[in-house]
Amino acid sequence: MVGKRVRTRFAPSPTGYLHVGGLRTALYNYLFAKKMDGVFVIRIEDTDQTRKVEGAQQNLIKTLEWAGIVADESPERGGDYGPYIQSERLDIYAKYCKQLLDDNHAYYCFATHEELEENRQLQIKQGLQPKYNRRWLPEEMGGSIPPSVIKQKLDEGVPYVIRMKVPDYVSVWFEDIIRGPIEFDSATIDDQVLMKSDGFPTYHFASVIDDHLMEFTHIIRGEEWLPSMPKHLLLYEFFGWEPPKVAHLPLLLNPDRSKLSKRQGDVAVEDYVRKGYSSDAIVNFVAMLGWNEGEGSEQEVYSLDQLIDRFSLERVVKAGAVFNVEKLNWLEKQYIKNRPTDQIIKAIKPILLSKLEQKTTLMSRDVITGDEYLAQVIELMRERVGFEHEFVTFSSYFFFEPETYDEEAVAKRWAADTNTLLREFTVILHSLEDFNAENIEARLKEFVAPKGLKAAYLIHPLRILTSGVSFGPSLYHMLEVLGKDTVLRRILNGIDKITFQA
């Protein structure tokens, strides 16, 4: 192999849920690493102790695993393996920070919050972009603070932060894989805090140190991190390290093209999982948020393996990507349509079993939880459900007696003689030996024709009585699947409850 082996990382902060944008970042890093036969790593960026949320890290890993995104490399931790965790690497950051202090690339700053805020307000008033005013810059770095004052403050234990010194009058340049060359003027770059007063590094510092030490070849992250680039590049330069290649992914947008926000829909992957979306559809959907195969490809449904095969950073677009839930719903349906029946059975059985614990059924439990019965339900409902769980919830009449009957449909479909005709027809159904769709249909037609009626005259009432609702799959097939006993019981029970109202 020529060159270095590709290494990428997903570096979430454990501040709560996994944002769909985060999932896309993780996915693109994962796809690119797999495509290039490289290594994908997860690193937890928990250096902001104030934003840390209990359990968020475990939740992130679990949700990524659900999506099929698993790290290739994990450090050992007391016999256990897990992601890299920045809070376990504080001595490393301290060591590199000391190096920057020694090399006059960083300095102590003892400014208080009040002082910083005052300075900020003043600059805003003067129409300037707020920046640290370098009041604590030491003499030897061009400032006014003598070494003795710094030593005294340190000895007294006055709280401090450590800032990087941004060189004056330099321009910082890099070539983004997606956006091309980008240049920043150092005058716009603040003397970024590297070490906070609690001894933890800032995101910028820890992430540069780790990205270098962990030997990442490519950094792929959201566009919101683009303004951080000059600070990071300067740090690489201070250390004499070669920066990795970088790609900043396009923003995610609401359908009205504003920045994707909670107000216009769910942004947590966990919310979509809870609603019943499958990882197949979510991963496929998220992959298309900013990437397409191009070259006239009409393909929209991709498995994870196909994505690995086709993905390329060159085909990631710059323009914001609209998050369109309808597209996701469409994809979910495509997956349900094509998913092998045995897989669906496996997924819906636990849902059904838990429903059966809460609710009694008059049907045979053994029959309705059996693979054969479930396969028939799936065949009838495959094109009609939006989520896998709907095989049980949307068409619950395949498992439970209808508790109510659609009143509007009853009012529309019942005539004075409906119940009498239905009673007569149950006798015919009762005598039917082979209770299949074809026979039921034939008998119904034979029954209504001499009376000058259309089949619909009884089709609708039969559907309402046996399912409670006015829509569903082919009635005859539905009756066949429900079986003779259930169908007769439901018709006779229902007739007693429904009366014709003129």
Supply the residues annotated as catalytic: 262
Residues 238, 311: Cα–Cα separation, whole Å: 34
As a whole number of angstroms, the distance between CA 294 and CA 297 comes to: 6
Rule CB under 6 A: say whether 210 interacts with ligand GLU. no
Are the C-beta atoms of residues 428 and 443 closer than 8 Å to each other?
Answer: yes
Interface with ligand GLU, residue 376, by CB under 6 A? no
Among 57, 63, 202, 207, binds ligand GLU (CB under 6 A): 207
The first and second tokens of residue 256, run together, are 């009205």
Q: For 232-245, b where at least 16 C-beta lie within 10 A, e where not — what string?
A: bbbbbebbeeebbe
Q: Give the number of other Cβ atoms within 10 Å of residue 136's Cβ.
A: 22
Shortest gap between Cβ of 261 and ligand GLU (angstroms)?
Answer: 17
CB closer to ligand GLU, 51 vs 151: 51
Report in angstroms how near the CB of residue 42 gets to ligand GLU at its nearest: 11
User: What is the size of the binding site for ligand GLU (CB under 6 A)?
Assistant: 8
Give the x-and-dash track for 151-190 against ligand GLU (CB under 6 A).
----------------------------------------
- Residue found under tokens 């005859």: 476
- Do residues 281 and 335 lie in contact, with contact meaning Cβ atoms separated by under 8 Å? yes
Q: Which CB, 262 or 365, lies closer to ligand GLU?
A: 262
Question: Helix (H, G, I), strand (E, B), or coil: what is residue 145?
Answer: strand
Residues 216-255, interacting with ligand GLU (CB under 6 A): 221, 225
The torsion defined by the Cα of 346, 350, 351 and 354, in degrees rounded to 10, comes to 160
Distances (CA, A) of 243 to 40, 147, 177, 246, 407: 18, 33, 13, 9, 69
Residues 34-63 touching ligand GLU, rule: CB under 6 A, are 45
End-to-end alpha-carbon separation of the chain, Å? 83
Q: Which residue lies nearer to ligand GLU by CB, 10 or 373?
A: 10
- How far, in Å, CA of 490 to CA of 464, rounded? 10
Q: How far is the CB of 220 from ligand GLU (least distance, A)?
A: 8
Q: What is the identity of the amino acid at 39?
A: V
> Of 5-13, 155-163, 273-281, 329-337, which part binds ligand GLU (CB under 6 A)?
5-13
C-alpha angle 16/21/26, rounded to 5°? 90
Q: Which stretch binds ligand GLU (CB under 6 A): 8-16, 68-76, 106-114, 447-455?
A: 8-16
Q: Does 11 bind ligand GLU (CB under 6 A)?
A: yes
Smaller CB distance to ligand GLU: residue 229 or 487?
A: 229
Q: How far is the CB of 221 from ligand GLU (least distance, A)?
A: 4
By CB under 6 A, name the binding residues for ligand GLU: 11-13, 45, 203, 207, 221, 225
